[in-house]
Amino acid sequence: MTALIQTIQTPDGPLTILADDSQRVLASGWSDDQSAIVARVHPALRPAHVGEGETDAAGAALAYYAGDLRAIDSVRVLQRGTAMQAAGWEALRRIEPGRPLSYSEFALELGSPQAVRAAASICARNAPALFVPCHRVLRSDGSLGGFAWGLPVKQSLLARERGEL
């Protein structure tokens, strides 16, 4: 498989997007370290060749930052994981901007109210950040919890989705 990689500038820093030859996002994150983005892709999906180029998802990300919070919803993604992870990644895409869930609520959404750690793991293993908005899941006390790209980015994304930025 070949893939395109593109880095765009956002208010939260450089956002690098890796997409396959069908323009499905394999991984993305707030870093200009392309190897770090490629490393987040499941080994079975990791491209043999990566070249710089324009991705369809970059336009959606820029629209998101310009205020169209729904622009990321139609971006196609591709991840590989267990059935529960796949269901979790789909569920993350249904979380409304500005209406984050707690990890407990997210586990309930998955039909496994006791699986709070599994819910957190689904977020941690999410490769196409922003397009599968794992930043919309918080700790039960409302604190941020973790985020692969740093808590300041997560905080900024949530503030943007609350209409504060």
Identified catalytic residue from 19, 134, 138, 153: 134
Give the Å distances, CA to CA, from 128 to 23, 115, 140, 164, 165. 12, 22, 24, 24, 23
pTM over 0.85: yes
Report the number of distinct structural domains present in the chain.
Answer: 2
Please report the pLDDT score of residue 31 as a whole number: 98
- Determine the average pLDDT of the residues in 77-99: 96
77 neighbors 131 (Cβ within 8 angstroms): yes
Long-range contacts of 110-116 (CB under 8 A, 24+ apart): 110/84, 112/84, 115/84
Sheet holding 13-20, edge to edge: 25-29, 13-20, 2-10, 49-52
The answer to whether residues 61 and 87 belong to one domain is no
Render pLDDT for 11-41 as a digit per residue (tens, 0 to 9): 999 999 999 999 999 999 999 999 999 999 9
Q: Residue 115: how many CB atoms within 10 A of its CB?
A: 19
Q: Is residue 29 part of a domain?
A: yes
**pLDDT at 159 exceeding the cut of 90:** yes
The answer to whether residues 102 and 33 belong to one domain is no
Please report the pLDDT score of residue 84 as a whole number: 93
Structure tokens at 39: 């490393």
Per-residue pLDDT band for 7 (boundaries 50, 70, 90) equals very high
2-10 and 13-20 strand pairing:
antiparallel
Render pLDDT for 107-117 as a digit per residue (tens, 0 to 9): 999 998 898 99
Please report the pLDDT score of residue 105 as a whole number: 95
Q: Is residue 95 part of a domain?
A: yes
The answer to whether residues 98 and 126 belong to one domain is yes
Distance CA 152, CA 162 (A): 15
Distance CA 19, CA 11 (A): 22
Range of the domain at 58: 2-65
| CATH number of domain containing 90 | 1.10.10.10
Q: Is residue 21 part of a domain?
A: yes
Mean pLDDT across the chain: 96
Residue 147 amino acid letter:
F
Q: Is residue 17 part of a domain?
A: yes
Q: Is residue 72 part of a domain?
A: no
**pLDDT at 60 exceeding the cut of 90:** yes
Please report the pLDDT score of residue 1 as a whole number: 80
Percent of the chain with pLDDT over 70: 100
The answer to whether residues 99 and 128 belong to one domain is yes
Q: Is residue 146 part of a domain?
A: yes
Structure tokens at 95: 């979380």
123 is catalytic: no
Structure tokens at 17: 């997007």
Per-residue pLDDT band for 152 (boundaries 50, 70, 90) equals very high
Q: Is residue 60 part of a domain?
A: yes
